[in-house]
Each structure stands twice: as structure tokens, then as C-alpha cells.
Amino acid sequence: MLSFEQKIKDIIGYFAWIESVVYFQNSFSFTDINISIETLIMKLLNILEIENYENCNIHRVNYPTIDLIDGKREIGIQITSEKTATKIKETLSKNPKVKLKFFILDSKYNPRQITYKDFPGFKVKKDILNFKYLVNQIRIKEENADEVLKLLRQNIIIPINPDTFSKI
């Protein structure tokens, strides 16, 4: 049985792999990976936030520019690798009736709240999510680590064992 620390390290390995693949594929204008991981992120958020997100692209919910929606609570999430204030502001202005969050496929993105002063309900620290956010949620809710790790192992094949790096 893995220790909690090892589970977190393995999960971080999977997330780092996803971020790297997204970055490199997007740098060559191959953005289909962004769409292909929407359901995975939806499942991760449902596990960790105990929400009921649905993939809008599968269920055809009529919310422009939103990828995931919790229709009951009217919370929408856009999953994107584009980390510009313009992209976020455009999405916020197109969906005034839905509480919006953004899942940025790059954990290095760290915007300032002042940039979004025209959107008083939007809080950068709460409404911009990424893989670091997911790791922090797992650290808060340790009981979910096994389920997250199982989901990642079932859905992602990486060419090396994430544990290999700790042995180099």
C-alpha cells in the first residue's frame, strides 16, 4: 500500500505529464488535446469538489464558451490553455448569468485580481483553477487520493513510471 506522500507524488507526476503534453502539442497548434482531457478534468473536479459537473460538449447545454457546467448550482468552467486576460474577460462577459471558473492547463499562470476589476464577482484565487489547485484539494481531502490515482491510472498511459524520477 502506498503512503499518502507517494500517492501525491504519483498524482503530481501524472499532472506534470499532462501539462507538458498540452504545452508541447499546443506550441505546434495541435489543440485537440485540450478537448480530449475535458472529461478527465470534469471527473477530477467531481471527485474533489463533490460537484455535479457535466461536459457541455457531450450534453449540449446551451452555455457559450463553457466546457463544464453544474446546472443545478449554475457554475460553469472553461478549460483552456490560453492564459490571457482577454480570453477570460470575453468569456465572463458572454456568460453573465452563470458563475464562471476557469481551469487553466498551465499551473504557472498567476494573474492579478486588479486585471478583473470590471467583474466584481470574479475572484482570481477562487475562480482560476489548475493542477496545483487539484493537488491542494487532494491534500485537504486525503480520502480522495486513492480515487484520483485510480482515475489517472485508468485514463493516462505515460511512458515511464512517475516514481522513476525520485530514484535518479
User: Does 61 have pLDDT greater than 60?
Assistant: no
- Supply the pTM of this predicted model: 0.88
* Nearest C-alpha neighbor of 98 from the set 124, 67, 125, 129: 67
Distances (CA, A) of 132 to 20, 63, 139: 14, 27, 11
Q: CA-CA distance, 66 to 101, in Å (whole number)?
A: 9
Top pLDDT among 62 and 56 is at 56
Q: Give yes or no for a contact between 67 and 40, defined as CB atoms under 8 angstroms apart.
A: no
Nine cell digits for residue 114:
486588479
What pLDDT is stored for residue 164 in this prediction? 64
Q: What residue segments make up the domains of the chain, in order of their start?
A: 4-163
**pLDDT band at 62, cuts 50/70/90?**
low
User: Does 33 have pLDDT greater than 70?
Assistant: yes
Please write the tens of the pLDDT for every residue from 66-85.
899 998 888 999 999 988 89
User: In the predicted model, what is the mean pLDDT of residues 28-35?
Assistant: 89
Beta bridge partners of 68: 55, 77
115 three-class SS: helix
Please write the tens of the pLDDT for every residue from 113-153.
999 999 999 999 999 999 999 999 999 999 999 999 999 99
Q: CA-CA distance, 36 to 24, in Å (whole number)?
A: 15
